[in-house]
Structure 1
Amino acid sequence: MSEIVGVWFRRDFRLNDQTALFNCVERLKKSGGKWVALFHLDPKFSEEMCPHHEYFFQTVSGFKEKCAEIGIRLHIIYGTVEEFIKKTLEAIPELTAIYFNKDEVGSGKSRDDVVLNRLAERGISATSFLDTHLTSATQVVKGDGQPYKVFTPYFRSWSKLAKPAPLHIKLHELQEYYYRTETSIDPEGESCFANIILNSKRNWEKLGESEASNRLERFTTILHTYHTKRDIASEYGTSQLSPFLKTGVISIRTIYQKILECQMDVGEGAHTYIKELAWREFYNMLYYYYPQNKQQALREEYRNLAWGTDAIRFEQWKEGMTGFPIVDAGMRQLKKEGWMHNRLRMITASFLTKDYLLDWRLGERYFEKMLIDYEEATNIGGWQWAASVGADAVPYFRVFNPSRQSEKFDPLGEYIRSYVPELKHLPTQYIHEPWKLSPDLATKFNFKINKDYPAPTIDHQMQRQKAIALFKGGE
């Protein structure tokens, strides 16, 4: 019998412009072999449900259904990496190779290293491809081979490199070369996966490849204002493509090419967005070279700062009950939607670290559970930026004033009113600092601070001085 090649889907749930799948089909055109679609259901991700995991698995479910519609079965295989390999090879002993799109950083890289060793032991070839980023983690470095720690020179070098074009896969070829099996490889995996979907606490809408394409098209209509509106919390000013990019229902190449096509017409907006894509590449590069970043600050001089761990304050922050409306609106959006506007990510992270003086790692791990677009390298980089302990981070003496941030990026209070409804009837003049309402106005608007909404839980100016002292003591 001719060869069978497994395509292992991990965070690339699409049938077009998928690097491993494209290269597999090209191989099969020459060998006349077949391919089979695989998904590894790891117990450590399936046993703890949170918005991040629920959204991911529902995306997988939608992809599985889409594949089934065209006669392709996505096999769900449950267990450890070793069990995944064992079950697959027992069910398909003719399997000769596995193709997948690699993870260059974090737990994904650790898993890939194990898989490559286990497959080699069994005489199975494994071929991995760059797919999640436009450049590999080792591709953009300084002349001496050392990684950049400042974004601007990194961006200059990154911008000069040619970027890969989208890959077009023909649907009829996928069907022609697909290896059809009468039963699933792992009934236990199928059953476990069905239970995960059945027991999800919420149903996420607008998932998958076609929805991602629609979102990209919609974004191009506002791209000309991206550079001016992307920080305004109440505006539809950002791409909101990050959840689709995280799950890989759209490729980074497709997005990049589309933005380039618009650049001549929209100018600065496109350039600004491409810069944001480059930040994602920058953080991926940093995490590759500094794999300890999830546990410790990149900047050595700030690794032993005496961060707090106050459980009550951490809970106030998580629940959006800090008494600072813009912070609370951001945290409530996260809890409600599993997503948060990027400016709010900066504001809430700054507040946790510079106002509450709590450990940035607490926030990073909470975001890991809650964000449907969570990407390890980017999230770690963002938190270290806000906490002033990472590469090219905001200086430690720059402490966001939540009230001024609110006035600047939600001037009419529309964002606050959307997520903190107990304040929606207050005049805009007081929406950012409701504790400043006079007794007469409080009576007029039937509002009582600390009853209808919490008073500020800290004094910002006092905490700012403490934050600066914390960093000076660590130097």
Structure 2
Amino acid sequence: MTAIVWFRRDLRLHDHAALHIAMQTGDPIIPVFILDDWFCRSGTVGDKRLFAYFAAVQSLANNLAHVGGRLLIRHGDPVQVLSQLAKETGADKLFFNRDYTPYARKRDQSVCDALTSEGVMVQSCKDLVLHEPAEILTKQRTPYAVFTPYRRLWQTLPKEQPYPIPERWLMFDRLNELPGEALPTLEAFGRKALTGDEWTVQRFGERAACERLKQYLNGDIQQYKDRRDMPGLDATSRLSFALKAGTLSIRTVYYLVHEALEEARGEGVTSIEAFITELIWREFYQQVLFFHPKTTEQAFLPQFEGVKWENNPELLARWCEGETGYPIVDAAMKQLGETGWMHNRLRMITASFLTKDLLIDWRYGMAYFAKQLIDYDEAANSGGWQWSASTGTDPQPYFRIFNPISQGEKFDPDGVFVKKYLPVLRDVPLQYIHKPWEMPKEVQEQANCVIGLDYPVPCVDHAERRKLALSLFQEAKDRHLMQKQNE
């Protein structure tokens, strides 16, 4: 009697559903991680994203070694790898935590079918979310398309408590003898190593995630509501990668945040409630993707599938490189390029700018973020992009278009963030920091920032593009209505 525990996006030992349930059987376990070329060799996955994930895998391997175990790493198709592993070890059980993306669901069903047919008991577990997509439905038993009623129901439902850390680790007796791959590295997959103090295994592991959560609960969460939109402040949790890779459990996060809420007073209460709302958005988008898997490719709102995007490749390149001439947009894109992360307010600003100012299809932006973000989550990424593009569930209305100048002035009033990622603007007077093209020539020279030479001229005129965006969306809406009437 042996149980395989298949680690995927749950790279931790604490509060781990599949691991806990497997150990409850009393059988020795085989912890395994499978390197899948679909992910490791994909041109859609950038170096920073791959490094962060590999670092979390290495952290898990280190933690298993610390408790006397080993993370068995194998390479190949999960169906073949797990089937072979069960045969060579005599394992009769497989445990893993459920994932809800279209690819994961198809892969997991194939694994279940194959191993069940071979006599292996397969059990999947709820771990990624507090409430799975099918748990929260309308009275008509349909998924929600609007966030607020979803949130209200989500908040009324009981939440599972975190699972305890195992007291005794019973490993498969021949675990160390099993052939396996070395710990994955970028170089092993034909990529260049990342250098710099920020690119360390420790930064992306389970311990770092737990310490970050503790630190955040002891400070910044109390002012989250008022400070979360200010990218110049380190005021957000920065837990998105930990929740994506599963170095931190959503149960643990919710449980400790709820504890803090019970002790909070005044501003702290509204701030923690706002933070919990963001956790609910995460699960809302999981539900949207689960029931509407085509939203990674098509607009949720059919009337906006026909928007006639311009899709100018030069403008797309300038957006990707942070060379649009709009400082808050450019600084945000530089942050993404340098760190593999972007502040959430800036994700909305840059997405709005790409779709409403540059008139580029949201799918281009979604794909670029998917490659660059270390915390990339398919559900949140597609949901967020469709929200910004006004094409998704409960979206920003298409006639509300972010002004990149006023957004910068409101959320980076002192230019702290802009100056950090655009050093060429450090000596620009504050009154011009978000519209440097308005500087008189003599001021440009004094600031060592000549527009068109040291910093680009705006690539588009926001006011003009806003009018054009409104007309394109209205035209798409009218065409769709006419088609429906003619059917």
User: Into which bin does the TM-score normalised by the smaller protein fall?
Assistant: over 0.9
Q: Which moved more, 1:205-214 or 1:141-150?
A: 205-214
What is the rounded CA distance, in whole Å, between the counterparts of 2:349 and 2:183 in structure 1?
41
Contact 2:348 2:388 in 1 (8 A): yes
Q: Is this contact kept in 1: 2:3–2:95, CA < 8 A?
A: yes
Q: What residue number does 2:269 align with?
A: 267
Q: Partner residue of 2:376? A: 374
1:299-348 superposed Cα distances (whole Å, 9 cap, x missing partner) = 11111222232221111111100000000011010011000000000000
Partner of 2:58: 61
Number of the residue aligned with 2:179: 185
Structure 1 contact 7–100 (Cα < 8 Å) conserved: yes
Aligned 1:166-177 pairs, distance under 5 A: 166-170=162-166, 172-174=167-169, 176-177=170-171
**CA distances 1:74-108 after superposition (whole Å, capped 9, x unpaired):** 1111011233124313431x110110001122211
**Counterpart residue number, 1:210:** 207
> What secondary structure sits across from 1:145 in the alignment?
coil
In the alignment, what sits opposite 1:74?
71
User: How is 1:283-294 mapped onto 2 (pairs within 5 angstroms)?
Assistant: 283-294=285-296
For residues 73-472 of structure 1, what are the structure 2 equivalents within 5 Å? Answer: 73-92=70-89, 94-170=90-166, 172-174=167-169, 176-187=170-181, 195-196=188-189, 199-202=192-195, 203-204=199-200, 206-220=203-217, 221-264=219-262, 265=264, 266-472=268-474
**How many equivalent residue pairs?**
465
Query: SS of the counterpart of 2:300?
Result: coil
- Specify the SS of the correspondent of 1:37: strand
Q: Quick one: structure 1 residues 191 and 340, their matched pair in 2 at CA, closer, same or farther if it must change by over 3 Å?
A: closer
Aligned-pair Cα RMSD in Å: 1.7
CA deviation map 1:104-147 (0-9, x unaligned): 22211121111111112222111001101010011111001011
Task: Map Cα deviations across residues 132-179 of structure 1 (whole Å, 9 max, x no partner).
Answer: 101001111100101111111111111100111111022x412x3444
CA drift at 1:58:
1.5
| CA distance, structure 2, for counterparts of residue 433 and residue 194 of structure 1 | 42
How much does 1:437 deviate?
A: 0.3
The C-alpha deviation readout for 1:190-227, integer Å capped at 9, x for no partner, is 67888259953343451211111111111111111100
Does the 8 Å CA contact 2:5/2:22 hold for their aligned counterparts? yes
Deviation at 1:447, TM superposition (A): 2.0
**Residue type matched to 1:313 in 2?**
L
Task: Report if aligned partners of 2:50, 2:186 keep a CA contact under 8 Å in 1.
Answer: no
Q: Tell me what 2:482 maps to.
A: none
- 1:307 match: secondary structure: coil
Distance apart, 1:181 and its partner CA: 2.4
**Distance (Å, rounded) in 1 between the aligned partners of 2:135 and 2:389:** 28
Amino acid at match of 1:374: Y
Secondary structure of the residue that 1:99 maps to in structure 2?
A: strand
Structure 1 residue ranges (4+ consecutive) displaced by more than 4 angstroms after TM superposition: 189-194, 196-199
Give secondary structure in 1 for the equivalent of 2:69: coil
**Larger CA deviation: 189-198 vs 360-369:** 189-198
> Mean Cα displacement is larger for which, 401-410 or 147-156?
147-156
For residue 158 of structure 1, what is the amino acid of its counterpart? W
SS in 1 for 2:212: helix
Q: Is the 8 A contact 1:4 1:179 kept in 2?
A: no
Contact 1:87–1:185 (CA under 8 A) maintained in structure 2: no
AA partner of residue 206 (structure 1):
R
Equivalent residue for 1:10? 8
Give the Cα separation in 2 of the matches to 1:372 and 1:216: 18
Deviation, structure 1 residue 183:
2.5
How far apart, CA to CA, are the structure 1 residues paired with 2:175 and 2:122?
Answer: 22
Q: Which moved more, 1:50-59 or 1:284-293?
A: 50-59
Asked whether the equivalents of residues 351 and 365 of structure 2 are also in contact (C-alpha less than 8 Å), the reply is yes
| Structure 2: segments with no counterpart, 5+ residues | 478-487
TM-score scaled by length of structure 2 = 0.92
